[in-house]
Chains A and B, each alone.
Chain A
Amino acid sequence: MNTADFDYVRNFIRDQSAIVLEPGKEYLVESRLQTLARKENLSSIDVLVSKLRSDSSNGLHRKVVDAMTTNETSFFRDIHPFEALRKFLLPELAARRAQQRQLNFWCGAASTGQEPFSVLMLIAEHFPDLLAWDIKFIATDLCGEALARARCGRFNQLEVNRGLPASLLVKYFVRQGADWEFREDLRQRVDFRELNLIKDWLCLPSPDIVFLRNVLIYFDVETKKSILAKIRRLLRPGGYLLLGGAETTFNVDDAFERAVFEKSTFYRLKQA
């Protein structure tokens, strides 16, 4: 891939998604676009990029953004935040909202659905009474292709092997050929929507917990600030934000403070 094509693609990706691709990441762009070029029956990346440059109405731009998003995820990823949810956060929030019997969750980078489904399994296992509450579970992602898969709730054996205990697999999934399908009654509790974090967040209910793990790492400081400011305005009073292990609000948005629960760190707004 020549420098001009790489610059064109990385600038375009930055404009569309705020994902920063530093020089040196040519290998990543090439490997992702090579696969897309094959899918689109294009002979090379050069041809793909020239098609991108010449016509913005062919849907290819959207596919390039999808191809460049990293959809790495797993069930009960990093396990400790789920332990914290079970032991501390869900009991606390359930007590606080007992009168309204209403809780809102938002997964801001839901990818193919493993994170929201893990939270739902945790609730079904340990707080089954909450399933009778008015729970709004919004799961958003930039990648339409990943969301389409999430809505189906269908996972291959490699995916269910990632973090999902066998006992939960047999309880919450139904075998469909070589794949496994997440139970429909739970799957339908999640509202999957496309959402670009750098654009307007329309019609999102104020969440009690925001899951936004391993997303901010792809953005520059200004974009991180803007996203955290929007979360600050959206978060329900007493609500929590969960970031990835390598992410922090420290020196980015000091309105947040750390809330440590054993081995995991959540963030909440400082008391005025």
Chain B
Amino acid sequence: MIDLTQLIEQANELAPLPASTVRLAGLIGNPDCHLDDVTELIVFDQALTLKLLRAANSAASASLVRVANVREAVTRMGTAQVLALAVAAGAKRFLQTRLPEYDLDEGVLWRHSVAAAVAAETMQACGSVESPPETFTAALLHDVGKLVMARFLSPEILGFIRRAREVDHLGQLETESLLLGANHAELGGLIAQHWNLPPRVVQGIIYHHNPGEGQDVICDLTYLANQLAKRIEAGLDGRYFDLSILPEVAQRLALTPKTLDNLCPIAAARYTQVSRRYNAV
């Protein structure tokens, strides 16, 4: 077991997200959110404005017409993606970190996070499921807890984790809970709370491995985005092994095996394009 007080303290010591991003998250989570309010909030933050315009004009927009102002950018990309890009701009430097404790080289966690956000967007774009506007952000940040958890994974603890997985065939999450008393998903939820992100983002992150316990569709969607991201990456480098999708999640989201099979190549094709937006922030 590790010292949970220390773990919580370290999660709460991560540098905060910019105030405008936090306000944007609150605004977009509100069902009465109006495009003008979003635009007004963004234009007051010059750095965010520049990043969003750069993202909107990246190759992903697939348009010859340049986006000249924030309103056009928000209209073109949609508020949910604007929020995810704003959060990405704040979290990018953390997510690009190398985490050898999780066998993640520099940039790999970022790439996986972006792939999950793109997968979430694809599900929405294909009309497969109706997503809450916080979904892309939850997908983007689903593994953010690994950043802090990694600091507590001494070689000794990593040895115990490896043996637990070999002997009892436990998954990463169960092993962390059993041996450390907390897991990276819970810790990610804590970081999202520390960053004052909306409760649904927190829920999506906490339950991205066990969505049935989350009692909210965003948990199923974040889980699915993570699994689709692994499939996208498997196509890129064969890195992940567990690519299955829980039948109960497919059932709750009314997704047939055929729809799921179709989603993956579409998400993979979009990844190359849309990831440029995230890389541009």
Task: Please give the residue numbers on chain A whose beta carbons come within 8 Å of chain B beta carbons, in ascending order.
Answer: 24-28, 30-32, 34-35, 70, 72, 78-79, 156-158, 161-163, 166, 178
A166 touches B199 (CB 8 A): yes
Interface size of B by CB at 8 A reads 28
**Cβ–Cβ < 8 Å partners of A178 in chain B:** 8, 12
Given known A161-B190, A163-B213, contact A27–B8 (CB-CB < 8 A): no
Interface centre among A28, A30, A158 (most CB of B within 10 A): A158
**Cβ–Cβ < 8 Å partners of B5 in chain A:** 156
Docked pose: A78 CA to B213 CA in angstroms:
7
B177 at the interface (CB under 8 A from A): yes
Min Cβ gap A145→B in Å is 11
B173 at the interface (CB under 8 A from A): no
Docked pose: A95 CA to B235 CA in angstroms:
60
B186 touches A35 (CB 8 A): no
Pairs across A and B, CB under 8 Å, 30 listed: A24-B167, A24-B168, A26-B163, A27-B159, A27-B160, A27-B164, A28-B164, A31-B1, A31-B179, A35-B1, A70-B178, A72-B177, A79-B215, A156-B4, A156-B5, A156-B8, A157-B8, A157-B193, A158-B7, A158-B8, A158-B186, A161-B186, A161-B189, A161-B190, A161-B193, A161-B206, A162-B186, A163-B213, A166-B199, A178-B12
**Cβ–Cβ < 8 Å partners of A26 in chain B:** 163
**Cβ–Cβ < 8 Å partners of A163 in chain B:** 213
Docked pose: A79 CA to B5 CA in angstroms:
27
**Nearest chain A residue, comparing its CB with the CB of B160:** A31
Docked pose: A31 CA to B159 CA in angstroms:
10
Docked pose: A72 CA to B4 CA in angstroms:
14
**Cβ–Cβ < 8 Å partners of B193 in chain A:** 157, 161
Docked pose: A35 CA to B12 CA in angstroms:
24
**Nearest chain A residue, comparing its CB with the CB of B180:** A31
Docked pose: A162 CA to B185 CA in angstroms:
11
**Cβ–Cβ < 8 Å partners of B179 in chain A:** 27-28, 31
Min Cβ gap B221→A in Å is 19
Given known A24-B167, A157-B193, A158-B190, contact A31–B157 (CB-CB < 8 A): yes
B80 at the interface (CB under 8 A from A): no
A-B contacts, CB under 8 A, total: 51
Docked pose: A152 CA to B8 CA in angstroms:
20
Annotate B160-193 by CB proximity to A: 1 below 8 A, 0 otherwise. Answer: 1001100110000000011100100011011001
A32 touches B1 (CB 8 A): yes
Min Cβ gap A149→B in Å is 12
Docked pose: A31 CA to B154 CA in angstroms:
12
List B119-169 residues whose CB lies under 8 Å from chain A: 156-157, 159-160, 163-164, 167-168
Given contacts A25-B167, A166-B199, 12 further A-B contacts (CB under 8 A): A26-B163, A27-B167, A28-B179, A30-B160, A31-B1, A31-B160, A35-B1, A70-B178, A157-B193, A158-B7, A161-B202, A161-B206
**Nearest chain B residue, comparing its CB with the CB of A30:** B160
**Cβ–Cβ < 8 Å partners of A34 in chain B:** 156
**Cβ–Cβ < 8 Å partners of B178 in chain A:** 28, 70, 72
Docked pose: A8 CA to B190 CA in angstroms:
40
**Cβ–Cβ < 8 Å partners of B168 in chain A:** 24
Min Cβ gap A76→B in Å is 9
**Nearest chain B residue, comparing its CB with the CB of A72:** B177
Min Cβ gap B273→A in Å is 35
**Nearest chain A residue, comparing its CB with the CB of B159:** A27
Min Cβ gap A11→B in Å is 20
Docked pose: A32 CA to B163 CA in angstroms:
14
B213 touches A79 (CB 8 A): yes
**Cβ–Cβ < 8 Å partners of B12 in chain A:** 178
Partner of B4, one of A24, A25, A78, A158: A158
**Cβ–Cβ < 8 Å partners of B206 in chain A:** 161
**Nearest chain B residue, comparing its CB with the CB of A32:** B1
**Cβ–Cβ < 8 Å partners of B167 in chain A:** 24-25, 27
**Nearest chain A residue, comparing its CB with the CB of B215:** A79
Docked pose: A161 CA to B214 CA in angstroms:
11
Min Cβ gap A102→B in Å is 33
Docked pose: A70 CA to B164 CA in angstroms:
15
Min Cβ gap A12→B in Å is 20
Docked pose: A158 CA to B163 CA in angstroms:
26
**Nearest chain B residue, comparing its CB with the CB of A159:** B4
**Cβ–Cβ < 8 Å partners of A78 in chain B:** 213
* Top 4 closest pairs, chain A to chain B, by CB: A27-B163, A31-B160, A24-B167, A27-B160
Min Cβ gap A81→B in Å is 13
**Nearest chain A residue, comparing its CB with the CB of B165:** A27
**Cβ–Cβ < 8 Å partners of B4 in chain A:** 156, 158
Min Cβ gap A88→B in Å is 20
